[in-house]
Amino acid sequence: MGMSPTGGVRISTKSSTRHGAQCVEAEISDDSGKDRILQLVYTLPLPAAAWQWLTMSRPTNAQNAPDQPAPQQEYLNTVNFPCGSSGRLSLYPLAAVSAAATGRAIAMDLFTPAFGRCAYNSRSNELYVAWDIALTPEKNSATVKLFSFDFAATWGFRSAIDALYRIYPEAFTARSKRHGLWMPFAKISEVQGWEDFGFAIKEGDNECAWDDQHNILTFRYTEPMTWWMRMPDDMPRDLPSARAEIERLAAKGDRRAKSFASSVFHNQYGEAPARWLDTPWCKGAVWSMASMPGIKSPDSHFRIAWNPELRQRLYGPERKADLDGEYIDSSEGYVTDVMNYRREHFSAASTPLTFSQIGQRPVIFRGLIAWEYARAIADDVHGMDKLMMANSTPHNLWWLTPLLDVLGTESNWNPKNSWRPPADSTMLFRRTMCGPKPFCFLQNTNFDDFDGNKVEKYMRRCVFYGMYPGFFSADASTKHYFRNPDLYNRDRELFRKYVPLCKRAGEAGWQPITLARSDNAALWLERFGTNIITVFNPGEQRQEGRLSTSISATSAYDHVHQQELPVQPGATGGTTFSVALDPEDVALIELRP
Query: What residues does 418 pair with on adjacent strands?
Result: none
Nearest by Cα to 229 from 261, 276, 272, 298: 276
Distance, CA of 164 to CA of 154 (rounded, Å): 15
Distance, CA of 276 to CA of 201 (rounded, Å): 32
Distance, CA of 540 to CA of 531 (rounded, Å): 28
Helix axes 255-263, 239-251, angle to 10 degrees: 120
Count CB-CB contacts under 10 A for residue 519: 14
Distance, CA of 356 to CA of 352 (rounded, Å): 13
DSSP-derived letter for residue 310 is H
Contacting residues for 392 by C-beta, under 8 A, at least 6 apart: 329, 330, 331, 332, 334, 409, 410
Q: Which strand (E) or helix (H) includes residue 160?
A: helix 157-167
What residues in the chain have per-residue pLDDT under 70? Answer: 1-6, 61-70
Nearest by Cα to 410 from 466, 481, 463, 484: 481
Distance, CA of 215 to CA of 211 (rounded, Å): 6
* pLDDT (0 to 100) of residue 321: 87
DSSP track, 207-256: THHHHHHTT-EEEEEE-TTEEEEE--TTS-SSHHHHHHHHHHHHHTT-HH
Burial (CB < 10 A; 0-12, 13-18, 19+), residue 544, is middle
Contacting residues for 207 by C-beta, under 8 A, at least 6 apart: 187, 188, 189
Question: Residue 59: what are its φ and ψ, rounded to 5°?
Answer: -65, 145
Contacting residues for 418 by C-beta, under 8 A, at least 6 apart: none
DSSP track, 63-77: T-PPPPPPSS-EE--
Distance, CA of 286 to CA of 263 (rounded, Å): 13
Q: Are 530 and 510 in contact (CB under 8 A)?
A: no
For residue 6, the SS3 value is strand
* pLDDT (0 to 100) of residue 70: 57
Distance, CA of 438 to CA of 548 (rounded, Å): 28
* pLDDT (0 to 100) of residue 71: 72
For residue 258, the SS3 value is helix
Could you read off the pLDDT of 46-77 as tens digits, one per residue?
Answer: 999 999 999 999 987 654 454 566 577 999 99
Question: Residue 16: what are its φ and ψ, rounded to 5°?
Answer: -160, 180
Contacting residues for 282 by C-beta, under 8 A, at least 6 apart: 228, 229, 230
Distance, CA of 256 to CA of 237 (rounded, Å): 19
DSSP-derived letter for residue 356 is B
pTM over 0.95, yes/no: yes
- Give the largest Cα separation in the chain, rounded: 78
Distance, CA of 589 to CA of 534 (rounded, Å): 6
State the Cα angle at 21 between 107 and 350, rounded to 5°: 50
Q: Which strand (E) or helix (H) includes residue 375?
A: helix 366-383
Please give the single-letter amino acid code of residue 343.
Answer: R
DSSP-derived letter for residue 89 is E
* pLDDT (0 to 100) of residue 228: 97
Question: Residue 168: what are its φ and ψ, rounded to 5°?
Answer: -125, 65
Give whole-number Cα distances, 340 to 293, 347, 348, in Å.
15, 13, 12
Burial 7-24 (b: 16+ CB within 10 A, else e): eebeeeeeeeeeeebebb
Please, where are the H alpha helices in 401-518? 424-434, 452-465, 485-490, 492-508
Burial (CB < 10 A; 0-12, 13-18, 19+), residue 250, is middle
Helix axes 492-508, 452-465, angle to 10 degrees: 10
Burial (CB < 10 A; 0-12, 13-18, 19+), residue 232, is exposed
DSSP track, 103-138: EEEEEE-TTS--SEEEEEETTTTEEEEEEEEEE-SS
Contacting residues for 383 by C-beta, under 8 A, at least 6 apart: none
Burial (CB < 10 A; 0-12, 13-18, 19+), residue 65, is exposed
Q: Are 362 and 266 in contact (CB under 8 A)?
A: no
Distance, CA of 103 to CA of 87 (rounded, Å): 28
* pLDDT (0 to 100) of residue 3: 42
DSSP-derived letter for residue 379 is H
Q: Are 334 and 366 in contact (CB under 8 A)?
A: no
Distance, CA of 302 to CA of 289 (rounded, Å): 9
Give whole-number Cα distances, 79 to 147, 353, 373, 584, in Å.
22, 18, 22, 29
